[in-house]
Structure 1
Amino acid sequence: MNPPSSPGPSGPVPSHKAASPAQPARYFYNGRIFTADPDQPEADAMVVANGRILWIGRQTDANPGTGVERVDLQGRRVIPGIIDAHMHPLFLAETAQQIACLPPAARSVGDIIEAVRRRRQQLGREAGRPAPGSGHAGSSGPLPWILGWGYDEGKLAEGRAPTRRDLDRGASDVPVVLTRICYHVVAVNSKALELAGITRETPDPPGGRIDRDEHGEPTGILRESARYLVLERIPTPPPAAWAQMLADLSPFLFARGITGITDMMARRRPVDDLALYQDAHARGLRQRVVLYYLWEHLRDEPASALRPEALPGPGQPVAAGGIKVFADGSISGRTAWVDPPFSASGAPSPEDSGLSMTSAAELLEAAAAARRLGVQLAVHAMGNRAIDLVVNTLARLPGRPDGPGWLDGGPSIRLEHATLASPAAMAVAARAGIAFVPQPIFLFAEVESYLSNLGPERASRAYALRSMLAAGVQVAMSSDAPATSWADPASPFANLKMAVTRRASHGMVLGPDEAIPLDVALTLYTREAARVTRIPGTGQLKAGFAADFVVLDRDVLAAGPDTAAELDAVRVLATYLDGERVYEA
């Protein structure tokens, strides 16, 4: 059940001298330290200097020397810093500025309409422009777009998404765009459709769908690539504003124990997100960052497009790690490419098998580009048909003399989500060195949609971590935040709870045979996440590695009937990055 271990320096160091005044050596003791190092899984003391662990082991063997600052961990559980191998920090940062369309803020379409109405009134007051029908004159000129995020039909009383007619009741004179929790679907009002030029005559774009009513009129629901007909018209903040939003996000992430992050939809246009994240780092974003560029933004770039100094390496705070391709959509949004088709009232719904968004030829083209640029290829695939296409196509690629792929220090190919991976697909991926990056929190938080769209039997096989590991697949856990229907989507602890208990948020247990032990789950969020994202020298607490660690309010590894059940209630007391405390509760 344990994932394969990774090499790295380890072993006891008998004594240590104080470090330079820039960072005095610190001796952390009286802790319960989970190291994620298979050679020494547990410790209770460590010596840290200049951002690195000099020694870690049993307190009885320690000899930290004189002039060393001593830090009493007070018997608390310590784990390595969490590395979120698949998330969207820019989306997460912007949600703070948008209408929340998920519980507890909204439990019905009516709640969403009222929230849109309140935002329209607020904008009107700020601009001196009342809503239509108020009987008051106001200033002219366009108002900002009204944006929201997080709606999920399974969480709403009506069991459906808001339509253009619903949103028109909240605001008819300004465009409204609400992003579904999966970030693969949007609901927009009539004004947004008008500005985008979408009518009954507008064809579905390749890889997308415009939902239509019985008369052929657009309902306001735009799926996958159809979203961009509207999204590309939304005014965007200047790069400096985005950079500051990312910097402001850093304490939020540290409060959840997250020391390493990824952006799985980085762009080269209109600005290069590498430069944006570097600016954010200068403004105070402290997490280690790896970016994965959208395929269409690197498709025609030469090998020199990513400078060597931009690639992952020791001491690199922001790196360009890979290319991202979409093979399908989402399970909860019914756009993943599945077979049999999605369910309707518990039975398969003919002709509703989701969307295929790539081809074998495009996957091979993207892999060739990734090899040329010296980065990874990451492919989004949730449905079993999409997963089969990806692994069967990419498994044919030639590898290196000493292993699969074209990169050292981590997998060359990542398959994102792997929701409905079959045993056969797992076996192919294991042989080809294709890593899986799943998110059990989807099944935990979006269980209503999973049960409705897949039925109980297929839903129970989703995110089959135990089977993946047993097949020999390299696995890293992640959140995909903010793309899940949970009040705190970036928190690793609800995700860990689902991996360990298979008990969804409403109490139903799905696929208990796919549960994994907590120490294994923690390893997937730390050591294996570091390997899959290729952030060297992190993810484990061992000599020579970065001193990135988290102090928790309880011993999550203690035996007891309530330990796993209470995982989503765990609080972070302190987070350390390079041996410095960057967060304290």
Structure 2
Amino acid sequence: MKIISIVCLFVVNSLVFAAPSHIGNVKGYTLNNAGELIRFSNMVFDAGKVVAIGTEELGQKYPNATFIDGNNKVMLPGLIDAHGHVMGLGETLLQVDLRESKSALDAAKMVQAYAKTQQNLAWVTGRGWNQVLWPGKAYPTASLLDEYVNNKPVMLSRVDGHASWVNSKALEIAGITKDTLDPPGGKIVRDEQGNPTGVLIDNAESLMLKHLPKTSEATLTAQLNAAGEHLLSEGVTSVHDAGIGKVVYNYYKKRVAEHSLPLRIYPMIAATSVDLRQLLETGHVQDQYDWLSIRSVKAYGDGALGSRGAALLQPYSDAQDNRGLLVTREQDLKPLFDLVLGKGFQLNFHAIGDRANRLALDQFADSFERMGGKSLRNRVEHAQVVNVDDIPRFKALNIIPAMQPTHATSDMNMAKDRVGAARLKGAYAWQTFLNQGSPVAFGSDFPVELSNPFFGLHAAVTRQDRNNSPDSGWIPSEAVTLKQAFRGFTLDAAYAAHQEHILGGLTEGKWADFILIDQDIFTTPSQNIWKTQVLETWIAGEKRFTKAP
């Protein structure tokens, strides 16, 4: 295995480390590598790493350290989001956000208002619509969108990123007509006459995406900076970026060489990239200060539950003629798995439906026998609806379920409709996975969900939305303790990136990535966890964010 080591001297952004620093007067919480919760009031760090934690007596051991008063605030390790889309978040922050739209009409009006302020855009883009939350729950149409924007193409991604709503101008540019065939793993939603209605599901989006303007470096810079600023304000110091192509791969390497990454990134190379084999041949990418680590591949199994694209073993309960979509053909799984594992890269497989999860487990088992790779900490991203018979196989095959707590509280209004009560026994099953000894890496899947990790901690513990609904939590038997949720966003997330010895806690030798927050999440009522505000965010002993007064 070849490893690219990006070696640079820390000479900018206050990266020349001076005397040790001693931050005291804090209410600190961390996990050690055994998963035990430790409390402390003082921490000394030097050269960006933790030297020691303890009581105020640390000051006597390090009299020359620069003292920082923590003002009795709560300190936690920087939180790790184990599944997000960094550039997607940046793009969302810079385009029309439809998450709060109350109907298709409301969304169309929001697009019109945005378009009027962005006259220079060749395309109008946006994200966040969710027909399940609208009256009637029907997919929106191009004809409605045409009433509000018809002079330029519009492409609006569904909240889960697995479907797009477009106007007639966009359909015309892409040449999508009644005669256009559905691509493998994709679906063009049509009316009774077979005409496209304006919604493209999963791989059908590719028919449109190739016509969008190419992304410039200036755009990448704006997106990364916007995403970084946003995540730091929410206490996220490291993110696992779930699916990048060569352009972003090269851009991240450029930014880390310039010492200008806003936070730590663990990118997964998209298996759909035409440059996959070349990037695998290049080997692992690792900079010496652990800002960037590229040693994994994101593969795509199926679509999403909300758009009925998740691949199921049996038909959808509310659509008996539909079993979902396989984004990667079944016959293509073996060569893909063999290639990735054979090159020593961790394979992280998107699987939401029970069929996609079973196919992933079957192929992992098959490839392990022939290619090895069982020790690579391979993952299933989402592991959302799993047949109960398949859950023990995750443990047997050393597969990490990388799951997103807010998916459960967002999906609870439609999940039973989609799969019925019986299949929910293996759905969003965090506690079941933990009880069998599987480490669960928690994240948000931003911008599908909001990126705030305290929303995730709250959802994991309460199984409720932020309005305290339902009263006892949705499928409360799968709720986790706060300590378990905290571990999912720290130590286990770090483990899922081969980084548990350098990140995920504030113990000796780990990077001094930490946050100060305005309340003690371990003592506040669980219903209030989501209200936590981040006051300061530090990475490698350097303050990167301060909340405005």
TM-score by length of 2: 0.90
Q: Which has the higher strand share?
A: 2
| Counterpart for residue 503 of structure 1 | 464
Matching of residues 274-313 of structure 1 within 5 Å: 274-281=249-256, 282=258, 284-297=260-273, 301-302=277-278, 305-308=281-284, 310=285, 312=286
Alignment of 1:111 onto 2:80: no
Paired letter, 2:93:
A
| Counterpart for residue 337 of structure 1 | 311
Q: Give the secondary-structure state (helix, strand or coil) at the position aligned to 2:157.
A: strand
Superposed displacement of residue 291, structure 1:
1.3
Deviation track 1:405-460 (CA, whole Å, cap 9, x = no partner) reads 254xxx1x110000012332221110111111011111223433334423466457
Superposed displacement of residue 224, structure 1:
0.5
| Counterpart for residue 63 of structure 1 | 60
Superposed displacement of residue 553, structure 1:
0.5
Which structure has the larger Rg over C-alpha atoms? 1
Query: Structure 2: where are the runs of 5+ without partners?
Result: 1-14
Alignment of 1:217 onto 2:195: yes
Query: What is the CA–CA distance in structure 2 between the aligned matches of 1:568 and 1:53, rounded to whole Å?
Result: 28
| Counterpart for residue 491 of structure 1 | 452
Paired letter, 1:538:
L
Paired letter, 1:335:
G
| Counterpart for residue 22 of structure 2 | 27
Query: What is the CA–CA distance in structure 2 between the aligned matches of 1:21 and 1:388, rounded to whole Å?
Result: 50
Query: What is the CA–CA distance in structure 2 between the aligned matches of 1:531 and 1:517, rounded to whole Å?
Result: 19
Deviation track 1:40-73 (CA, whole Å, cap 9, x = no partner) reads 6222222111101111123456633222112232
Q: Give the secondary-structure state (helix, strand or coil) at the position aligned to 1:243.
A: helix
Q: Give the secondary-structure state (helix, strand or coil) at the position aligned to 1:116.
A: helix
2:202–2:303 CA contact under 8 A, matched in 1: yes
2:261–2:291 CA contact under 8 A, matched in 1: no
1:428 corresponds to which of 387, 393, 399? 393
Q: Give the secondary-structure state (helix, strand or coil) at the position aligned to 2:414.
A: helix
Query: What is the CA–CA distance in structure 2 between the aligned matches of 1:336 and 1:274, rounded to whole Å?
Result: 28
Select between 506-515 and 111-120 the one with higher mean Cα deviation: 111-120
Query: What is the CA–CA distance in structure 1 between the aligned matches of 2:445 and 2:280, rounded to whole Å?
Result: 30
Flag the 1:284–1:160 CA change in 2: closer, same or farther, 3 A: farther
Deviation track 1:301-355 (CA, whole Å, cap 9, x = no partner) reads 25863244x1x465232222211111111111210012442233xxxx3122211
| Counterpart for residue 483 of structure 2 | 519
| Counterpart for residue 172 of structure 2 | 194
Alignment of 1:262 onto 2:240: yes
Paired letter, 1:326:
Y
2:22–2:59 CA contact under 8 A, matched in 1: no
| Counterpart for residue 530 of structure 2 | 568
1:360–1:393 CA contact under 8 A, matched in 2: no
1:81–1:549 CA contact under 8 A, matched in 2: yes
1:85–1:529 CA contact under 8 A, matched in 2: yes
| Counterpart for residue 354 of structure 2 | 384
1:298–1:323 CA contact under 8 A, matched in 2: no
Paired letter, 2:127:
W
Paired letter, 2:260:
G
Query: What is the CA–CA distance in structure 2 between the aligned matches of 1:360 and 1:209, rounded to whole Å?
Result: 17
1:317 corresponds to which of 288, 291, 294? 291
Deviation track 1:492-547 (CA, whole Å, cap 9, x = no partner) reads 01111111011134512211011111111111111111110223511111101100
Superposed displacement of residue 471, structure 1:
1.6
Query: What is the CA–CA distance in structure 2 between the aligned matches of 1:549 and 1:341, rounded to whole Å?
Result: 46
Matching of residues 70-469 of structure 1 within 5 Å: 70-103=67-100, 106-123=101-118, 126=119, 144-268=122-246, 271=247, 273-281=248-256, 282=258, 284-297=260-273, 301-302=277-278, 305-308=281-284, 310=285, 312=286, 314-344=288-318, 349-359=319-329, 361-398=331-368, 405-407=374-376, 411=377, 413-455=378-420, 458-459=423-424, 461-469=426-434
Superposed displacement of residue 150, structure 1:
0.2
Query: Structure 1: where are the runs of 5+ without partners?
Result: 1-19, 128-142
Deviation track 1:212-246 (CA, whole Å, cap 9, x = no partner) reads 11111111110010001011101133123312421
| Counterpart for residue 50 of structure 1 | 47
Q: Give the secondary-structure state (helix, strand or coil) at the position aligned to 2:374.
A: coil
1:292–1:320 CA contact under 8 A, matched in 2: yes
Query: What is the CA–CA distance in structure 1 between the aligned matches of 2:396 and 2:303, rounded to whole Å?
Result: 26
Paired letter, 2:483:
D
Superposed displacement of residue 296, structure 1:
2.6
Flag the 1:262–1:504 CA change in 2: closer, same or farther, 3 A: same
Flag the 1:452–1:101 CA change in 2: closer, same or farther, 3 A: farther
2:93–2:227 CA contact under 8 A, matched in 1: no
Query: What is the CA–CA distance in structure 2 between the aligned matches of 1:26 and 1:40, rounded to whole Å?
Result: 23
| Counterpart for residue 507 of structure 2 | 542
Q: In percent, how many aligned pairs have the same letter? A: 28
Paired letter, 1:174:
K
Flag the 1:62–1:424 CA change in 2: closer, same or farther, 3 A: farther
Select between 363-372 and 528-537 the one with higher mean Cα deviation: 363-372
2:89–2:223 CA contact under 8 A, matched in 1: no
Superposed displacement of residue 361, structure 1:
4.3
Query: What is the CA–CA distance in structure 1 between the aligned matches of 2:329 and 2:220, rounded to whole Å?
Result: 34
Paired letter, 2:79:
I
Query: What is the CA–CA distance in structure 1 between the aligned matches of 2:451 and 2:231, rounded to whole Å?
Result: 8
Q: Give the secondary-structure state (helix, strand or coil) at the position aligned to 1:336.
A: coil
Query: What is the CA–CA distance in structure 1 between the aligned matches of 2:227 and 2:326, rounded to whole Å?
Result: 34
Query: What is the CA–CA distance in structure 2 between the aligned matches of 1:505 and 1:40, rounded to whole Å?
Result: 26
Paired letter, 2:461:
V
Superposed displacement of residue 397, structure 1:
3.5
Query: What is the CA–CA distance in structure 2 between the aligned matches of 1:313 and 1:397, rounded to whole Å?
Result: 30
Superposed displacement of residue 21, structure 1:
7.8
Query: What is the CA–CA distance in structure 2 between the aligned matches of 1:304 and 1:85, rounded to whole Å?
Result: 21
Flag the 1:537–1:63 CA change in 2: closer, same or farther, 3 A: same
Q: Give the secondary-structure state (helix, strand or coil) at the position aligned to 1:27.
A: strand
Paired letter, 2:407:
F
1:433–1:474 CA contact under 8 A, matched in 2: no
Flag the 1:285–1:248 CA change in 2: closer, same or farther, 3 A: farther
Flag the 1:546–1:283 CA change in 2: closer, same or farther, 3 A: closer
Flag the 1:40–1:447 CA change in 2: closer, same or farther, 3 A: closer
